[in-house]
Amino acid sequence: MPTERTFSIIKPDATRRNLTGRINAKFEEAGLRIVAQKRARISQAQAEAFYGVHRERPFFGGLVSFMTSGPVVLQVLEGEDAIAANRRIMGATDPKKADAGTIRAEFAEDIEANSVHGSDSAENAATEIAFFFRPEEIVG
């Protein structure tokens, strides 16, 4: 298994409920390491650009206003097969479909306020990491 890096966001529904530590415990217990981290409020322009692939979807406006509604925690996770591992730990986008024990099954409020984002491919992981972090901010 290759060592990979992937991008993770703890979303405003989770920071509002003070769940940052409990969510990150799930990543660490599964063997992923947090090699970069910052708490931030993202701007409307950042949210629109970050989720640009969803621009035509009916949920786009709601997603942008949700992601700018409170603080987020932006992170880079590192580990073996980190992109797929992160997606397994998060569970399905819709918490109603997420496996027991996953972050979204335990913590998500609904399909929009679903507590975490994770990159879905190696290409997107590289793009998303570079969107929020300079190389020197990532300390492996």
**Residue 54 annotated as catalytic:** no
CA dihedral 37, 41, 45, 49 (to 10 degrees): 30
The interface mask with ligand CMP, positions 49-68, x = CB under 6 A, is -----x----x---x-----
Which of 117, 118, 125, 133 is an active site residue?
A: 117
126 binds ligand CMP (CB under 6 A): no
The one-character DSSP state at 31 is T
CB 78 within 8 A of CB 48: no
112 binds ligand CMP (CB under 6 A): yes
The one-character DSSP state at 38 is E
93 binds ligand CMP (CB under 6 A): yes
98 binds ligand CMP (CB under 6 A): no
